[in-house]
Amino acid sequence: MTHVVNPSTGHSPVSPFHFESLAPFGWTSAQADRFWQFAEPSWEPGRVVAFSRGLALLQTVTGEVWGTPSGRFRLDLETEGLPLCAGDWTAFQRPSGDSRVVLHDRLPRGAALARQGVGPGGRPQWLAANLDVVLLLMGLDRNFNVARMERLLALAWGSGALPVVVLTKADLQERVEAHVARIEGVAPGVPVLAVSARTGEGLDEVRAHLAPGRTAVMIGSSGVGKSTLLNALAGAELRRTQEIRDSDGRGRHTTSLRELFLLPGLGCLIDTPGIREVGLSAESADLDHTFADLAGFAEDCRFRDCTHGAEPGCAVQEALAEGRLDPERYNHYLRLQREVAYEAARSDERLWREREQKWRRISKSMKNYSKG
């Protein structure tokens, strides 16, 4: 195995790491180059397996270790509003005589998945980072909802990773092909797979979108079968599963952490808790990809800033009148567009208030200093 050496100093880290040992977790030569652009000689790279309440579980060349961000790094994370999440690559140091490592920095993120935070002034909630594939899970039972899938697609396209729709519990549905066709109609260009973790149907099709060194994440509502699918792909019980209530088809949140798992021969898969609300924001959603058919019509509008309402020469309205665009899909687009615009305005107001509060604190500190 080749020892990786910092080319700027000629020194190896305190615990020399082997390139090949992190490759299954997605470590590449490009990431090594980025790491050495800022890393100190004693720092090592580690991937966040899980992060909760300021404590990180890292995958390193020596196995899993627990760590906490340094004070400066914690302040940077709070200032940026980009907390650590499963899939992040970090730079850490092993202090002598301490069982926990110290995280000093984070490598630039690749594709990352986020949803709009709930509540007034909510920040985006980051679900997973450095992704290649987003598996959008929806059950072929009472969980099936086309409008909800459009929201999930908007999140997936907004992440920069490739979305794949996975319709679970195919063994419970007699009209599987019809349901697949409905989703294909709102997910142009996206693979739509019908699977049953119980019978094994469709699992090979899911595996075809995974590969060593690549990272996928699963998102969907509680009880959709994420943990069951994870266990089926791994061939072992990595997550405890929960029975679904017959009354409403829902399950409990058996998964409480966003956690990264290494599947032999299949790369990394991040499991997430069930999502009750799929909030969208300008930063996290991509409506143009989600509604690619509507965006295609819009290219022929007379005015570039057409809102696709009552403007003359609107190609979208023409497609509606001629039956080439589903009115229900058009209304879904308008609803999500308004939501994204609202969240963008709310985010601007929140940032303005935060800046105002910051300068008030600075002004107060300066007055106190001058008095002293």
As a whole number of angstroms, the distance between CA 149 and CA 137 comes to 9
Secondary element (H or E) of residue 194: strand 192-194
User: Across 70-156, where does the E strand assignment appear?
Assistant: 89-93, 101-106, 112-116, 124-129, 133-139
How confident is the model at residue 23, as a pLDDT? 92
How confident is the model at residue 96, as a pLDDT? 79
How confident is the model at residue 232, as a pLDDT? 94
How confident is the model at residue 6, as a pLDDT? 42
Average pLDDT per block of 10 residues along the chain, 372 residues long = 37 48 91 89 94 93 93 90 93 84 95 78 83 96 92 93 97 93 94 95 96 95 91 82 46 67 95 81 81 89 83 89 91 87 70 58 56 55
How confident is the model at residue 255, as a pLDDT? 53
How confident is the model at residue 59, as a pLDDT? 95
How confident is the model at residue 207, as a pLDDT? 97
- Rounded to 10 deg, the angle between the 146-159 and 176-186 helix axes is 50
How confident is the model at residue 251, as a pLDDT? 45
Cβ proximity of 260 and 59 under 8 Å: yes
Domains and CATH numbers, the chain: 19-106 (2.40.50.140), 112-271 (3.40.50.300), 287-361 (1.10.40.50)
How confident is the model at residue 273, as a pLDDT? 86
Rounded to the nearest 10 degrees, how much is the dihedral formed by the CA atoms of 91, 156, 251, 170?
Answer: -120
As a whole number of angstroms, the distance between CA 96 and CA 72 comes to 20
pTM, two decimal places: 0.82
Q: Which two tokens stand for residue 90?
A: 């970090």
How confident is the model at residue 278, as a pLDDT? 77
DSSP collapsed to 3 states, 29-65: HHHHHHHHCCCCCCCEEEEEEEEECCEEEEEECCEEE
Q: What is the 8-class DSSP label of residue 18?
A: B
What is the per-residue DSSP string for 218-282?
A: EE--TTSSHHHHHHHHHTS--S---PPPTTTS-------S-EEEEETTTEEEEE-PPPS-----T
